[in-house]
Structure 1
Amino acid sequence: MKDLVCRYCGKKIEKEDLRTAIRRLKIYPFHKECFELKEEETISINEMWKPINQVGWTITSIALLILAIVLGVTEWLGNLGNVVGVLALYPVTIRIISYVVYETK
């Protein structure tokens, strides 16, 4: 298996020091310290990095998964509900991909 390399400093990342973040639909691994430095360098909203493997993203993913299930099972909002339900699965999918690709290594 290939070692994880920090996107910021280029050094190997230990599992307990891993922070995954998303920007422009791509997931990147960072050290916790490097991610904090990268966040401080962010100037505009277009350059923002969103941390994935933190409690906030996980809670949001669970809440949106519940919303997607409710909208998929019921006829609440009709076809609009189906569209919203599919869009609500985006953070859940990103969290699962982050877990499988980076956190299980």
Structure 2
Amino acid sequence: MSTGIRSDNSSFTVGRATIIADVGIDLKNNSKAHIDELNFYSCEIPDVLQKVLNKLPAQPPHDLVVDAMEQQKLMGNIDSSKLWGWFQKQGINLAFWPQIGLAIASLMQ
């Protein structure tokens, strides 16, 4: 699995970035990032889901997205998935959650 930008206990600012990788940005240990414009592309994640994920300030690990898709197939929802836990740990505004849930659910139809 490839990662475009990985930050561990640091901060950075980027004006414009285009990343083609499994994970766009991986922030760890209180890392902070400011990116004016991010274009992120993953060949392994369906386009409809990728459009929603592109709106996030940090890209979740690919395996967590795949896990959420598998959970959707089995349980009909992605609540309490590993992806949910990752969002909480990252401090990402969970207002994105309904959009992500709907995007994943639409793929399973």
Question: TM-score, structure 1 length as denominator?
Answer: 0.27
Q: By percentage of residues, which structure has more strand?
A: 2
More helix by share: 1
